[in-house]
Structure 1
Amino acid sequence: MTKRHVSLPEEADEGVTAFIEQVDDRLSSDEDTCEVVRDTLVDLFGDRDAYERWRDGGDVTPAERVRLQGYDPCNATLESEYYAEKDEERYTRSKHLQWLWRQFDATPMADNIAFALRFRQMLADHLFADAGDDLRLFKGITFTYGHNIEMGDNTVVHDDVHLDDRGKLTIGDRVSISDSAHLYSHDHDVVDQTHVDNYHTVVDDDARVTYDSMVAAGCRVGKNAVVGAKSTVQGDVPDHHIAVGSPARSIRVKPGWESVADPVEDKLTNRAEERAIESNLPDDLDAFDEFQRDLTPPDGVDAPDAE
C-alpha cells in the first residue's frame, strides 16, 4: 500500500520553513553551537520570558535554574561523553547537536510530522558523517555520537530506534528500519565488560530491519534483505535473503531473486573481525573501572588486556 502526500497549510509551512532555515544558517556559521542550541530550545519550549528574567538577575527557584541552564548543552552530559575512545574534537560539536535532537523530541512540535521530519533532516546534515536526501527520521531515535553514521538517500528510521555508532554505522539507500530496532557497532568482552571492541556495521541498500530486532556489531545486512521482527542478527545476512529468529538464520530467498542470491545455509556467517576498528586510546587517559571487580577466574585463564 502506497502512502498519501501530506503537507502543511501554506501559512504554517512558511513559518516552519523560516524557522528551520534560521537554525540551519546559524549552525552553518561560525557562531558558537552551544548558543544556537540554547536559543533554539528556549524558544521551542516557550521559556524566553523566564530565561531573560533569570539572565537579568531576577529571582528563580532552584528547579527553574536547573531547567533554564539545561537548555545549554554545555551544561549537560551524555553517556557517550564517558567513552574513552571517543574523538574529543569531533565529539564536542556532536554532543551539542545531539542534545538539540533529543530535547527537540521532548517538545510537542516533535509530533508534528511534517515539521519534525524536515527539522531532523536538517540536523542530520550537520551531525552525521554523511546524510542522504529525503530522509524520514522519526521520534525517539538515539545514537552514540552521530558523527560515525553514514546514511543514504530515501531511508526511513522509525520510532525509538537505537543507532549505535561507537564504532561505525553505514546505512544504505532506501533502507527501512522499523520501530524499536537496535543496530550495534561495539561489543563487550564476556569476561571483562569494561573492554570494548568497535566494528563497522552495515545495512545495505533496500534492506529492511523490522520491529524490535537487533543487528550485532560488525554484521552486514545485505542488499534487499529482510530481518524479521524480534530477530537477533549475529552474522551476515546475504543479499536478497530473509532472516528470522534468535539467533537469526536465513529461511529463504525473497521470491523472484533466486537466480542472483546465494543458497540458504544453516546459519549466518559472522565476519565481524573483518570489520574491526582499532581504537587508539590516549597515553594520558585517566581511566577508571566502574565495577571494581576481581576478574581473576578460578581456572587461571587471563582476562583480556584492556589496552
Structure 2
Amino acid sequence: MTKRHVSLPPDAEAGLQAFLDEVDERLSSEEDTCAVVQDTLVDLFGDRDAYERWQAGDPVSPAARVRLQGYDPCNATLESEYYAEKDEERFKRSKHLQWLWRQFDATPMADNISFALRFRQMLANHLFEEAGDDLRIFKGVTFSYGHNISVGDNTVIHDDVHLDDRGKLTVGNRVSLSDGAHVYSHDHDLVDQTEVLNYHTRIEDDARVTFDAMVRAGCVVGENSVVGARSVVQGDVPAHHVVVGSPARSVKVKPGHEDDAEPVGDGKLTNRADEREIPYELPDDLDRFDEFGRRMDGPTTPHRER
C-alpha cells in the first residue's frame, strides 16, 4: 500500500519527544517501575491537582479515591496474574508496564497516531523479550505477560490484536497482523480444561495474518504466507502459501513463488505443536483452585491427544 509521510508541527513534536524521553529514561533507571507508571498515568489523565490534594490528606469521594488509587499498578489485578505457571519474578515488572500500556490506550493521546506508535514502541522496548525497530503497534493490542514476546523489525500490529504469550511467541520482520487477529501460545487439555499446555508459536518473516483470523498454539505461520480473514490455523502454514477457512487449508501459492513453495497435496495443514511444547513445573505448595468450582480430586484425567 502506498502511504504518505505525515509530520506534526515543530512545537507539538518537541513536546511529545520530551515526554517520551522522560518516561523512557525513568524506566531505564533504577527507579521503582510502579512509581514511574503511577506518575505517568496521573499526568496523562490530567489528574495531578486532585492526586496531590488526596496525597496531602484532603477528603475525596469514594469514586475519586478508587480512580486515584488505580493509577498505581500495585492496586490493580490482571487476568494473567492468576496464571499459576508464570515466571513470578519477571511478571512483577511486566505487570506494571502492561498496566501503563492498557491505561494509555484509554487516554485521548492513544488516538494521536504519531505519538501513540512511538509511545508503544518505547514501552515494547522495556516490556517485550525483544522489540525490533520501527514497530507500529496500534490501539487495543493485548497480551498475557509481554515478556515472552519477540518481534522483529518493521512489523505492524493493528487494532485489537491479542498476542497470547503464556507460552512463547515469536513474530518476525515485516509481519502484518490485521485487526482482531488472535495468536495463541497456550491451550487446554481436552478433558481437564484446568490443565494448561504451553507452546512456542511463530509468525515468520513477511507473513500476513489478516482480519479476525486465529492462530492456534504451537503453530508456525511460514515465511511470506497469508492467513485469510476469519480463518482458524490449526497446523503449520508452509512458506508462500495462502490459507483460508476453518480449519484453514492451503488454497494456492503466492504468484511467483511456485518453485519455492512446499507442495501441500490436499491443502490440509500438519499440526506439529507437540514438538514445540514448553514444559513447566508448578510449586508443591501452590494453593490450587478450579475457577469452575469443581472438585480437584474427581475422576477427570487429562487427555492429551490433539
* Fold match by TM threshold 0.5: yes
Q: How far apart are the structure 2 equivalents of 1:50 and 1:296?
A: 51
SS of residue in 1 equivalent to 2:205: coil
Q: After the TM superposition, which residues 125-140 of structure 1 pair with which residues of structure 2 at under 5 Å, given as runs?
A: 125-140=125-140
1:287 equivalenced with 2:288 (yes/no): yes
What does 1:227-246 correspond to in 2, within 5 Å? Answer: 227-246=227-246
1:286–1:128 CA distance, 2 compared to 1 (3 A) = same
Aligned to 1:62: 62
Amino acid of the structure 2 residue aligned with 1:147 = H
- Aligned twin of 2:301: 303
Structure 2 partner of 1:214: 214
Deviation, 1:296, is 9.4
Which residue number in structure 1 is paired with residue 160 of structure 2?
160
TM-score (norm 2): 0.97
Per-residue deviation, residues 157-211 of structure 1 (Å, max 9, x unmatched): 0000000000000000000000000000000112111110000000000000000
Aligned to 1:88: 88
Letter in 1 for 2:184: Y
- Counterpart of 2:301, as a letter, is A
User: For the Cα contact (< 8 Å) 1:80–1:145, is it kept in 2?
Assistant: yes
Q: Distance in 2 between matches of 1:65 and 1:53?
A: 11
Runs of at least 4 residues off by over 6 Å: none
SS in 2 for 1:85: coil
Unaligned runs of 5+ in 1: none
Deviation at 1:151, TM superposition (A): 0.2
- Decide whether aligned partners of structure 1 residues 295 and 56 sit closer, same or farther in structure 2, where only a CA change above 3 A counts: closer
8 Å CA contact 1:296, 1:303 repeated in 2: no
Alpha-carbon contact 2:182-2:214 (below 8 Å) kept? yes
Q: What's 2:45 paired with?
A: 45
For 1:288 and 1:294, the matched residues in 2 are separated by 9
Match of 1:102 in 2: 102
Cα distance in 2 for residues equivalent to 1:57 and 1:67: 16
Q: State how far apart, in whole Å, the 2-side matches of 1:245 and 1:129 are.
A: 32
Tell me, in whole angstroms, the C-alpha distance in 2 between the residues paired with 1:21 and 1:54: 28
CA deviations 1:247-285 (Å, max 9, x no partner) are 000001000000011113320000000100001111221
The aligned amino acid for 2:87 is D
**1:74-107 deviation per Cα after TM superposition (whole angstroms, max 9, x unaligned):** 1100000000001000000000000000000000
Contact 1:231 1:248 in 2 (8 A): yes
Percent identity of equivalent pairs? 75
**Alignment partner, residue 20 of structure 1:** 20
Q: Give the direction of change, closer, same or farther, for the CA distance of 1:147–1:296 in structure 2 (3 Å limit).
A: closer
Cα offsets for 1:117-138 (capped at 9, x unmatched): 0000000000000000000000
Residues of 2 paired with 1:125 and 1:118: CA distance? 11
**Structure 1 position 25, deviation (Å):** 0.2
Question: What is the rounded CA distance, in whole Å, between the counterparts of 1:5 and 1:126 in structure 2?
Answer: 27
Q: CA deviation at 1:293?
A: 2.6
CA–CA distance in 2 between the matches of 1:296 and 1:52?
51
Residue identity matched to 1:276: E
Unaligned runs of 5+ in 2: none
| RMSD after superposition | 1.5
Count of aligned pairs? 303
Compute the displacement of 1:305 (Å).
8.6
Residue 269 of structure 1 aligns with an amino acid whose one-letter code is T
TM-score, normalised to structure 1, is 0.96
Q: Which amino acid aligns with 2:47?
A: D
| Equivalent-residue separation in structure 1 for 2:291 and 2:303 (angstroms) | 17
Q: Give the 3-state SS of the residue equivalent to 2:259 in structure 1.
A: helix
Once residues 264 and 9 of structure 2 are traced to their aligned partners in structure 1, the CA distance between those partners, rounded to angstroms, is 50
Asked whether the 8 Å contact 1:252–1:264 carries over to 2, the reply is: no
Aligned position for 1:3:
3
For residues 103 and 220 of structure 1, the distance between their equivalents in structure 2, rounded to whole angstroms, comes to 32
- Cα separation, partners in 2 of 1:158 and 1:55, compared to 1, 3 Å: same
Query: 1:192 is matched with which residue?
Result: 192
Question: Who is 1:116 aligned against?
Answer: 116
Which residue identity lines up with residue 148 of structure 2 in the other structure? N
Q: Is the 8 A contact 2:154 2:173 kept in 1?
A: yes
